[in-house]
Structure 1
């Protein structure tokens, strides 16, 4: 169990509605202030065993909650340092993120969506799609993107989550049982419904659609398989695509 999940259990948190981040912060000696910030999403300043976290009040409530969790992660792992986190540092998903930022992101995800509560919640949904992900995001007070990542990282579905913009792939995540050889292409294939969302301003996909796997993977064997794809807009000219693998042969390690 992670440090954040242990903290929640020690506080007796047994329901997502009980995850009061500002109250949790006080137990850690941290006071949270929500103020307009320029040039960063959040910052933490500590002195001894006390700290103040400033959160950008201009951001969405879900973004503010993740930022609080992120800064509490810094307080737990990187105490006695003055840190200013840019927008890209908090849940930025970039492969260039520092180990400190990745650790703070993991702490935030575990604090907002602890597995001992999240795993039973996701099992209440018979199918993984963006409708289910939205419901979970509402239940846990987390952003759609953070919730989608959490869903894909569980063992309840074999899936990939891919973010694209007009200039190509931004980042992706895969479920633990999806082999490394399934690495999504940088550029969207015109055959993929996701292509229309990015380049033709098409609306969100209402449900997953079947598509040849070679539209997503540059491997000769991909032409033998199909998968299911669903894409949605997430702002800033970017889309999230959920790729669901049903064919067990695709999951064979080779």
Structure 2
């Protein structure tokens, strides 16, 4: 397995278990000292010179948020030295693990953070112990790595272990999604929530969907053949009035690549974006 820069740092420190990922120790190994105190104008910041840096993180946030913010700043220290960076809440974790926009400093730092907290060489073997993917699975994995549910879900999609995707909707804003590479790209989710989807109720009532349920694929995908299939959905609320939905695919026919793509026409809605 080819290691990312964040993962290579962890491996060089002999870290091979999720409980051993001590970010303060990682920071120390990189020449950075970590301080925690209330911050008013930002959520975290780093100031460095030469091979030394000081990272300050707002300690009023949740423990997992603080952890991700620290990992984010270590991403800046690794990739953007000799710069003064102040990271607001809107800059951290909004593109967690994104494989796109590789030149955007904040997205680069987010990607580094997700790989530092959920390194593939530890995560992937763990996922092989699960036969199915659901919210319970994601919570167990997230707990093992002390990672947020959203960051965990994204990294699981990127592991390409399950035929699945996650879709996040938020009122008045563009939704985003992340899918496993094994899911054909013709399965592009709708930009708006279907009235038949439980996600709509979750968004309205802030109630978690405890168990996955089957639903017609046409509730999620605007393709002619979608009405022939079913997918499994499980939705849960996120902060800031967002809802995240896990979609899993069990019908092998949905995973087959189509030779004649024009038979159905690939329609991509510009109102939806991929992480």
Q: TM-score category by the smaller chain?
A: over 0.9
CA distance in 2, matches of 1:216, 1:96: 26
CA distance in 2, matches of 1:117, 1:224: 38
Superimposed CA distance per residue, residues 26-84 of structure 1 (whole angstroms, 9 cap, x where no aligned partner): 11000111111123211111111101111111111111111111111111111111111
Is the contact between residue 217 and residue 230 of structure 2 (CA under 8 Å) also seen in structure 1? yes
**Which runs of 5 or more residues in structure 1 are unaligned?**
none
What's 1:219 paired with? 223
Is the contact between residue 89 and residue 97 of structure 1 (CA under 8 Å) also seen in structure 2? no
What's 1:149 paired with? 154
CA RMSD of aligned residues (A): 1.7
Task: Give 3-state SS (helix, strand or coil) of 2:191's partner.
Answer: coil
Structure 1 consecutive aligned stretches of length 4 or more whose deviation exceeds 4 Å: 94-98
TM-score, length of structure 2 as denominator length? 0.88
Q: Report the CA distance between 1:98 and its aligned residue.
A: 6.0
Task: Give 3-state SS (helix, strand or coil) of 1:233's partner.
Answer: strand
TM-score, length of structure 1 as denominator length? 0.95
CA distance in 2, matches of 1:233, 1:2: 31
Q: Report the CA distance between 1:99 and its aligned residue.
A: 1.9
Is the contact between residue 69 and residue 111 of structure 1 (CA under 8 Å) also seen in structure 2? yes
Answering whether residue 252 of structure 2 is matched by residue 248 of structure 1, we say: yes
Task: Give 3-state SS (helix, strand or coil) of 1:12's partner.
Answer: coil
Q: How does 1:58-69 map to 2 (within 5 A)?
A: 58-69=60-71
CA distance in 2, matches of 1:168, 1:24: 36
Aligned length: 253
Question: Aligned match of 1:166 in 153, 168, 171?
Answer: 171
Pick which of 118-127 and 45-54 moved more: 118-127
Is the contact between residue 208 and residue 228 of structure 1 (CA under 8 Å) also seen in structure 2? yes
CA distance in 2, matches of 1:85, 1:170: 23
**Which runs of 5 or more residues in structure 2 are unaligned?**
259-275
